[in-house]
Amino acid sequence: MPTLPIYQVDAFADRPFAGNPAAVCPLEAPIPDALMQEIAAENNLSETAFVLRDGNAFGLRWFTPTVEVDLCGHATLAAAFVLMTEIDPARTEVTFRTRSGLLAVRRADAGEFVLDFPALAPVPVDAETTARVARMLDATPAEVLRAPVGTLLAVLADAGTVRRAIPDLAAVAQTGTSLCITAPGGDESRPVDFVSRYFAPAHGIPEDPVTGSAHCILTPYWAARLDKTALRARQVSRRGGELSCALARDRVLGDRVLIGGQARLVISGTLRY
């Protein structure tokens, strides 16, 4: 019976049972795409990451329970955490080859890992889309924007409104993309620069606990609005998560977002199939 090692990591969390859980399967050799999708469905987490050494880097692919995705932050953090703590503790940085290009993760201070991701600045949508998003939320956003990857971004008045929101998930699913809602975080008991929540029912994820890739969109938006390049963020899902975010410029890769967070290993074992 074939086997694979498997780890479950709570990403963007400083303790178990918080943040966003992801499964990580290090591979010794390629396995079929259909098998990866079956494993992800079996895990039934928002993402399962598959890691395969590729020269000096590692190939990295992400699967939800229903589809493969182009970019995932928390499962990238989880994969880097496994490589740098469980497999090769002496390693301080890892580079992944992905559908979204080369992505680097480095070990930072105080147990934080920093992801180097592309910046995905959103742009305003038309009036019809704005009205459609307002109906999904049963509220009037201050702004509605769309990211280059298709994600809709609705800006609300304050953190309390984001926390209380109950989007029409069936309507969100009909868009074929995801919806991120956000607001300033000054009214939080522990203030941050901004808060968010993220919904992707079209991809089998009603609400994602903490979404690293969404901060590729949120960071350039809030950096411009607040006129600062280093920000503290909180995703205010039921589990919740904390992130540090910063804008950076690479001469080759262009605008980047540096996303920092901690992670905790909660399960390790053997997958049999």
Reported as a single tens digit per residue, the pLDDT across 203-220 is: 889 999 999 999 999 999
pLDDT grade for 249, boundaries at 50, 70 and 90: confident
Instruction: Using the Cα atoms of residue 108, residue 89, residue 78 and residue 102 in order, give the sign of their dihedral.
Output: positive
**Phi, psi (rounded to 5 degrees) for 219:** -65, -50
pLDDT grade for 250, boundaries at 50, 70 and 90: confident
pLDDT in tens, 77-93: 999 999 999 999 999 99
Beta bridge partners of 242: 234
Spatial separation of the C-alpha atoms in residues 194 and 158, rounded to whole Å? 9
pLDDT at 257 > cutoff 70? yes
Mean pLDDT across the chain: 96
Residue 252 or 168, more confident: 168
Spatial separation of the C-alpha atoms in residues 49 and 72, rounded to whole Å? 9
Spatial separation of the C-alpha atoms in residues 232 and 74, rounded to whole Å? 16
Spatial separation of the C-alpha atoms in residues 56 and 215, rounded to whole Å? 27
pLDDT at 37: 98
Q: Is 47 a catalytic residue?
A: yes
Q: Which ranges of 64-104 would DSSP assign to H, the alpha helix?
A: 73-82
pLDDT at 254: 83
**Are the beta carbons of 69 and 61 closer than 8 angstroms?**
no
pLDDT at 251 > cutoff 80? no
Tell me if 3-106+259-272 shares its fold with 123-258: yes
Of 28, 38, 42, 47, the active-site residue reads: 47
Give residue limits of the domains in the chain: 3-106+259-272, 123-258
Structural fold of domain 123-258: Diaminopimelate Epimerase; Chain A, domain 1 (3.10.310)
Spatial separation of the C-alpha atoms in residues 91 and 87, rounded to whole Å? 9
Q: Indicate the pTM of the whole model.
A: 0.91
* Contact partners, residue 268, CB within 8 Å, separation at least 6: 5, 6, 7, 8, 86
pLDDT grade for 252, boundaries at 50, 70 and 90: low
Write down the CATH superfamily of domain 3-106+259-272: Diaminopimelate Epimerase; Chain A, domain 1 (3.10.310.10)
Question: Taking the mean position of all CA atoms in its chain, how far away is CA 83?
Answer: 18
Report which residue type is found at 248: A
- Percent share of the chain, pLDDT over 70: 99
**Are the beta carbons of 76 and 103 closer than 8 angstroms?**
yes
Q: What is the mean pLDDT of residues 93-110?
A: 95
**Are the beta carbons of 144 and 133 closer than 8 angstroms?**
yes
pLDDT in tens, 115-134: 999 999 999 999 999 999 99
